[in-house]
Amino acid sequence: MLPVTGKMPTMNDTQLLRYARHVLLDGIGIEGQQRLLASHVVVVGAGGLGSPALLYLGTAGVGRITVVDHDEVDLGNLQRQIAHRQSRIGHPKAASACASIAALNPDPQLHAVHRRADAVLLDALLPTADLVLDCSDNFATRHLINAACVRHKKPLVAGAASGWDAQVSVYDSRQPQAPCYACLFPPDAVFEDLACATMGVLAPLVGVVGSVQAIEAIKLLVGSGQTLAGRLLMLDAREMRWDCVNLQRQAACPVCGSGVDSGS
């Protein structure tokens, strides 16, 4: 279970009604919902993956949500990025996503950051965060987020989708045997970023993956169930086949390996 950064709140009658279906759940209950309300989640990327993840985290009652995205809404986003509206074309995605969350639930404190995620920004945001969702769309940003999460010992819920295929995992550097993102995808390896603009992506696929990311985040925040730490969940939507493979921490990993100074 994560130690939450905020003060544990007492729910009012309206909140008890709003979150009743969570309160009834084994593994959440009153205490779990209070933990959600006291939590701070940083989400990098307010596009295809970030849209469903943000909407579900917001409606679930995560008390503080910081949305980081440097981009603006355009018409080509609306096929899959359900947090945005046609009336917001040209508006910053971070602000648009926050507006959609606020329209669904007035409880979360929302912070829109309209800039590209970099090491300086992440180092400023992560100390007060309970966990991070990587909903970005390129390897460079994913590695920056992963390195920051390892430095600050914050769990990372990372997803990716392209075409008909997707993957999601949890990288939790607090667990001695759990790998980080760089254990699976070394920073010095050459990987091709498959942009949606050139490769395409099935619209509901990002909804599935973003929703799984939200589930994993909620489980981490309330301390319920078994997370995907140490496992990679993969989906082939064309065949509707799920596969899960075990991951190992790499001693020689340049980010989380035994020879790395975690304070650097």
Q: Which of 196, 244, 253, 256 is labelled catalytic?
A: 196
User: Where are the extended beta strands (E) located within 85-230?
Assistant: 109-113, 131-134, 156-162, 165-171
82-94 residue pLDDT tens: 999 999 999 999 9
235-244 residue pLDDT tens: 999 999 999 9
Average pLDDT along the chain: 93
Domains of the chain: 27-246 (3.40.50.720)
Sheet harboring 231-236: ordered strands across?
Answer: 109-113, 64-68, 40-44, 131-134, 156-162, 165-171, 231-236, 241-246
Would you state the pLDDT for residue 198?
66
Is 196 annotated as catalytic? Answer: yes
pLDDT band, very low/low/confident/very high, at 191 (cuts 50, 70, 90): low
Residue 225 DSSP code: S
| Confidence check: pLDDT of 197 > 70 | no
Strands 109-113 and 64-68: parallel
What type of residue is 186?
P
